Amino acid sequence: MRRREFITFLGGAAAAWPLAARGQQPAVPVIGWLSSMSPGPLQPQLEAFRQELASAGFVEGRNVHIEYRWAEGHYDRLPAMAADLVDRRIALLVATGGEPAAIAAKAATSTIPVAVMVAGDPVKIGLVASLNRPGGNVTAVSIFTTSMESKRLGLLHEMTGAKTIAVLVNPTFPTVDLQLSDMREAALRLGIELVILNASVESEFDVAFSTIAQREAGGLAVGGDPFFNSRRNELVALAAQHRVPAIYEWREFVLAGGLMSYGTVLTDGYRQVGNYAGRILKGEKPADLPVLQPTKFELVINLKTAKALGLDVSLQLQQRADEVIE
């Protein structure tokens, strides 16, 4: 080989070395994010997820990428969204927004690790084998909001003294039958009549509130559902417009002007999912990660809204509240 050709060869090889080195670096893992909800109302919860993920060493945009899919309350879109994420060779599938997203995620893959957040018992709906040893490729964080429907009904009855209370549920929510069963049992204990209202699209809200007026219901219990959470501002505005005392599952409804809420801390649930996501990316298996359950429940009351509705909130109820908004 001539000297000039040899130098040219060396120069070309040297230029290729950085490319070869880059090719040997591990690929940035991709998390598939599947949610039943809309992104707008969930920014604080997303931030909690990202912070917990970062504490495990994974910073979005730096050494981990997240592919987002939002169903915006249209549960029928979730299976196709989950299949699309699985086709992208993700390292982990995270499903939030309750049972609809979790069920779609589990159906989409039996090999990719899956971490879900659900409202009820993940064993009863077939997501995991047991709470302590989930088995398979799925683990969960359960916030148990659907099991607190009766508690919310009792608190609303205590606040209003109403003998007839309307209940708003989404008939397409997978655990709606359990929600209604829970509330009907509570109604029997409390000696009150329930008016069951259905809404699975926003256009049905006006009909529901008109029915509340027609039936002269003294309050409204909004069932736990990601679709309702995505449209919390609309529901709170309608309750104010129709002067209906209402109770919700999350404090975010009360911050938006709703009367009262009782439930777990939503942000804590997303933080727990972020913790599990980081641990799975580091190599732990979902089968070995026990289902996490809430440790804190909170009652939040908006006194300004109560005054606007002409309600006198007892001192005893105020003292039991974890937060009173004045």
What sign results for the dihedral spanned by CA atoms 306, 312, 314, 319?
positive
Q: Could you tell me the CATH number of the domain that includes residue 189?
A: 3.40.50.2300
Same domain, 259 and 279: no
Tens digit of each residue's pLDDT (9 = 90 or more) over 300-315: 999 999 999 999 999 9
Judge if 94 and 164 occupy the same domain: no
Tally of domains within the chain: 2
Q: Using alpha carbons, select from 132, 137, 96 the residue that is nearest to residue 274.
A: 96
Q: Nearest Cα to 235, choosing from 249, 219, 224, 246? A: 246
Q: Using CA atoms, how far apart are residues 44 and 48, in angstroms rounded to an integer?
A: 6
User: Are 298 and 146 contacting, i.e. CB atoms less than 8 angstroms apart?
Assistant: no
- How do residues 169-214 score in pLDDT, each as one tens digit? 999 988 888 889 989 999 999 999 999 999 999 999 999 999 999 9
pLDDT in tens, 18-61: 443 334 445 899 999 999 998 988 899 999 999 999 999 999 99
The answer on 168 and 138 residing in a single domain is: no
198 and 61 within one domain? no
- Asked whether the CA dihedral 132, 136, 141, 144 is positive or negative, the reply is negative
pLDDT category, 294, cuts 50, 70, 90? Answer: confident
Domain encompassing residue 67 = 30-144+265-296
* Low-confidence winner among 9-23, 128-142, 259-273 (lowest mean pLDDT): 9-23
pLDDT in tens, 82-127: 999 999 989 999 999 889 999 999 999 999 999 999 988 899 889 9
Q: What are phi and psi of 179, to 5 degrees?
A: -60, -50
For the cut 70, the answer to whether the pLDDT of residue 316 exceeds it is yes
Q: Is residue 114 located within the same domain as residue 187?
A: no
Task: Write out the E strands in 84-179.
Answer: 92-96, 114-118, 138-142, 164-169
204 and 303 housed in the same domain: yes
- Does residue 99 sit in the same domain as residue 185? no
pTM for this model (two decimals): 0.81
pLDDT of residue 146: 64
Q: Which helix (H) or strand (E) holds 179?
A: helix 176-190
Q: Return the DSSP state at 130.
A: -
Cα–Cα nearest to 262, from 278, 249, 273, 277:
249
Q: Is there a domain that residue 15 lies in?
A: no
User: What is the structure's pLDDT at 295?
Assistant: 79
CB of 278 closer than 8 Å to CB of 60 = no
Among candidate residues 145, 173, 159, 97, the one with its CA nearest the CA of residue 262: 145
The predicted pLDDT at position 290 comes to: 96
Average pLDDT over residues 153-158: 96
Task: Name the percent of the chain lying above pLDDT 90.
Answer: 76
Distance in angstroms (rounded) separating the CA atoms of residues 258 and 313 = 14
Mark whether 169 and 222 lie in a shared domain: yes
Q: Please indicate, yes or no, if residue 277 is contained in any of the structural domains.
A: yes
Degrees, nearest 5: CA angle 77-81-82:
120
- Domain membership of residue 210 (yes or no) is yes
Element (H, E) at 302: strand 297-302
Q: What is the pLDDT of residues 233-257, one digit of tens each?
A: 999 999 999 999 999 999 999 999 9
What pLDDT does 282 receive? 96
